[in-house]
Amino acid sequence: MIEVTRKDNGLVAILSVVLGLLVGAIIMLVSGFNPIAGYGSLLQSAFGTPQSIGEVLRQMSPLLLTGAGFMVAQAAGFFNIGLSGQAMAGWFGSVWFALSFPTLSKLILLPTTIIIGIALGAVAGMIPGWLRARFGSSEVITTIMFNYIILYVGNSLVQNTFKKSIKATTESSVLISNHASLRASWLTNLTNGSSLNIGLFIAIIVVVVVWFVMKKTTLGLEITSVGLNDSAARYAGISDRRTATIAMVISGGLAGLAGVVDGLGTYQNVFVQNAVPGVGFDGMAVALLGGGSYLGLVGGAALFSVLKIGGLGMPIFTGVPTELVDIIIAAIIFFVGINYVVRLLIARFRKVTTKPNPLLVPVTANGADKAVVNGEQETSDGSESKKPTKGDEA
C-alpha cells in the first residue's frame, strides 16, 4: 500500500507543513497574538536583510548533515535518535583540539580538526550500531542514553578538564584561532557580517556524495537491502552486522561533521549546555519531512532554517516567543507521523474529483465485497467484538 502511494510523499509533506503552520496560527490566536503579523515578522526576520539570509543559509548546513545522517541510518533500518549527541561529540572534540593547538598552520590544523570531529561522531554512532548488530539491543534506547552520556561528559570537560588558559569563564571556552575557523571574510562581507561560512559548501558537497553512495554504489545497495530485509541480505551474501554498523558509523560521522560546522563555523567556541544540541532532532525532523528523498531533505532543511532564523526575530517585532517555531516544527513532524490520515484525506479528495485512487481500491473492494456477501455478519461481527468482554474470563 505504501509502495503505491509513495509518489504522494511530496504532497503529504506539503500538507503536513500547512497543517503545522495552522497549528502555530491557532496557538498564536489563543495566546492573544495576531498570526498574520506573527508570520509576517517571521518572514521579515528571515529574509529582511542580507545578514539574515546569510544566517538562514548558515543554519541549513548542519541540518543538511544531520538530516543526511538520519537518512543513512534509516536506510539500514536504524532510528538514530542520537544525532544530537553525536553532533555534540564532534563539536566539542573538534573545538577542544583546535584550542589545544592554535598555532598549527591552517593547512594542517583545519583538516585534522574536521577529521577528529567526524571520527568522534562516528564512534558515538558506531557503538549503538554495533551493540544492536551484536546483541540486538534497541538503538532507540542506546542512542538516547548516549545523548546524555555525551552531554554530561562534554560539560564536565569544559568545567573540569579544560586548562585555565583556554577558558573564558567557568562555563565556556575562549574562541578558536583563525587557523581552525570555517569563517571566510568574503562570505562574511557578502552577507553584511552574518556567520555564514564555508561549512555550507562542505555540507552541500557531502550531501551530494552521500546521495551518490546511497543510490549508485554497492555499499548503498547493501545498506538499503539490510534495512529492507536483513535475512534476505544475509542470504545474498551481505554481512548484515557489518553493513548495519557501517551505516551507523556514516550516520554518526555526518552528525559529527554537523557539530564541527557549528563549532568551527558558527559558535567558534564550546560552552556548557542544558541539553544536547537541537540540531540533531531538527535534522531528524528534516529527514522525516523529506520522506526518504535527498531533494526533500534540501527542501526541508531550507524550510526549517527559515523558521528557525525567522523565529529568532519574532519576539522583537511582535512579541511572539521563539519557542513557537519549535512547536510548529514538532507539529509538522506529527502530521508526517500520522501520514496515514493525510493520505486518506488525499485519497478521498481524489476519489471525489477524479478516477479511483490506488490507495482506496483494495479498501473499497474489500468492504464492498463483505457488505454484499455477508452484510449482516459485518454488523454482528462489530457488536460481537465488544459485547462479551464483560464476563468471559475466570
Partner 1 sequence: MSIEAIFALLISTTMVYSAPLIFTAIGGTFSERGGIVNVGLEGIMVMGAFSSVVFNLSFAKEFGAATPWLGLLVGALVGALTAAVHGVATIFLRADHIISGTVINLITPALGVFLIKVIYNKGQTDMIQQNFGYVDVPLLNKIPVIGNIFFHNTSAPAWVAVIVAVLAWFLLYKTRYGLRLRSVGENPQAADTLGLNVYGLRMSGVLLSGILGGIGGAIYAESVALNFGAATIAGQGFIALAAMIFGQWNPLGAMGAALFFGLSQSLAVIGAQLPVIKNVPSVYLAIFPYVLTVIVLSVFFGKVKGPKADGINYIKSV
What the block records as the C-alpha cell of 129 is: 550500531
Start-end of H helices in 319-356: 323-337, 339-353
Alpha carbon distance 97, 182 (integer Å): 15
Q: Cell 454488523 identifies what position?
A: 379
Quickly count: other Cβ atoms within 10 Å of residue 89's Cβ.
Answer: 30
Q: What DSSP assignment string belongs to 219-257?
A: HHHHHHHHHH-HHHHHHTT--HHHHHHHHHHHHHHHHHH
CA angle 290, 291, 297 (to 5 degrees): 25
Alpha carbon distance 16, 335 (integer Å): 5
What the block records as the C-alpha cell of 358 is: 490506488
- Phi, psi (rounded to 5 degrees) for 105: -70, 150
Q: Which of residues 81-110 bind partner 1 (CB under 8 A)?
A: 81
Site string for partner 1, 234-273 (x = CB under 8 A): ----------------------------------------
Q: Which of residues 173-232 bind partner 1 (CB under 8 A)?
A: none
Alpha carbon distance 253, 129 (integer Å): 12
Q: Minimum Å distance from CB 279 to partner 1?
A: 13
79 lies in the site for partner 1, by CB under 8 A: yes
289 lies in the site for partner 1, by CB under 8 A: no
Q: Minimum Å distance from CB 133 to partner 1?
A: 11
Site string for partner 1, 149-168 (x = CB under 8 A): x--xx-xx---x--------
Cβ closest to partner 1, residue 27 vs residue 249: 27
Among 19, 22, 123, 144, indicate the residue that binds partner 1 (CB under 8 A).
Answer: 144
348 lies in the site for partner 1, by CB under 8 A: no
Residue of 337, 273, 329, 293 whose CA lies nearest to 59: 329
Cβ closest to partner 1, residue 168 vs residue 365: 365
Cβ contacts of residue 68 below 8 Å, gap of 6+?
A: 206, 207, 210, 254, 287, 294, 297
3 lies in the site for partner 1, by CB under 8 A: no
Among 53, 331, 347, 359, indicate the residue that binds partner 1 (CB under 8 A).
Answer: 331
365 lies in the site for partner 1, by CB under 8 A: no
CA distances from 328 to 13, 16, 210, 303, 314 (A): 14, 10, 29, 12, 14
Please give the DSSP secondary-structure letter assigned to residue 176. P
Q: Minimum Å distance from CB 337 to partner 1?
A: 4
Q: What DSSP assignment string belongs to 70-116?
A: HHHHHHTT---TTHHHHHHHHHHHHHHHHHHSTTS-HHHHHHHHHHH
Interacting span for partner 1 (CB under 8 A) from 51-59, 88-96, 133-141, 295-303 = 133-141
Residue of 299, 293, 275, 336 whose CA lies nearest to 60: 299
362 lies in the site for partner 1, by CB under 8 A: no
334 lies in the site for partner 1, by CB under 8 A: yes
Among 111, 193, 337, 375, indicate the residue that binds partner 1 (CB under 8 A).
Answer: 337
Q: Minimum Å distance from CB 238 to partner 1?
A: 21
Q: Minimum Å distance from CB 242 to partner 1?
A: 18
292 lies in the site for partner 1, by CB under 8 A: no
32 lies in the site for partner 1, by CB under 8 A: yes
What the block records as the C-alpha cell of 72 is: 543513512
324 lies in the site for partner 1, by CB under 8 A: yes
- Phi, psi (rounded to 5 degrees) for 166: -105, 15
312 lies in the site for partner 1, by CB under 8 A: no
336 lies in the site for partner 1, by CB under 8 A: yes
Beta carbons of 344 and 301 less than 8 angstroms apart: no
Cβ closest to partner 1, residue 376 vs residue 392: 392
Size of the site for partner 1 (CB under 8 A): 60
Binding site for partner 1 (CB under 8 A): 27, 31-32, 79, 81, 127-128, 131, 134-138, 140-142, 144-146, 148-149, 152-153, 155-156, 160, 274-275, 281, 284-285, 288, 321, 323-327, 329-331, 333-334, 336-338, 340-341, 366-367, 370, 378, 384-389, 392-393
